[in-house]
Amino acid sequence: MQQVKKIVIVASGSEEGAVDMAVEEAMRRIEAGNLSGGDRNESGAFYFDVTENVSTAEMPAGADEGGEESSEVVEADAPQSFEQIVEKAQQAFWQAIAESYPTITSGDLWPDASHAFDEHCKAAARFWVEGNLPAGSIVRTEDGYRLTRTEEGDYTDGDLTYGSLKEMEVDFYVLGQS
């Protein structure tokens, strides 16, 4: 019987070649038998998920003909991290403020006030996500853990359990429902 796996790798990089190196590392871990994981450093980051025993109906048209190996590269928007979403919301906030005060031409904010604003925005957004994320939602942490939200409101991968998103103290992505 033909074995079909679905492999999703999301990689980013700030230097030339960083994305390729991240994909190579993800593939090395997949070949070693890992079904999910991730990592990051100063030049790039990645995470991956492998779904085994996928239906052939999920394969690209013609991929199962002729018994040859095939792959399809799908260009898709990677899910945004919590930090990216908060940054986007802050930009929209400041744009609304600037549009409301057209005679003000400077955008300066004291460093202490800017830091406090950032921290309060993150805290408010985490509380909102925490209060509204349904059970069964899958959360991927920046360091590669794949956690599922339980009916009780915890986040678990079966071994580790966190009581809240704040307790994790890392950036995260909401990937969807289990």
DSSP characters for 90-141? HHHHHHHHHHH-TT-------HHHHHHHHHHHHHHHHHHHHHHPPTTEEEEE
Tokens representing residue 10 in the block: 């999301």
Tokens representing residue 119 in the block: 């921290």
- Band (pLDDT 50/70/90 cuts) for residue 121 is very high
End-to-end CA distance of the chain: 27
pTM of the model: 0.56
Q: How many CA atoms lie within 13 A of 101 on its CB side?
A: 9
Q: What is the pLDDT of residues 18-32, one digit of tens each?
A: 888 888 888 888 888
**Residue 1: per-residue pLDDT:** 56
pLDDT over 90 percentage in the chain: 19
Q: What is the pLDDT of residues 50-87, one digit of tens each?
A: 777 766 665 555 555 544 544 444 444 557 888 889 99
Q: What is the pLDDT of residues 80-103, one digit of tens each?
A: 888 889 999 999 999 999 899 989
Mean pLDDT of the chain: 80
**Residue 63: per-residue pLDDT:** 55
110-119: average pLDDT = 90
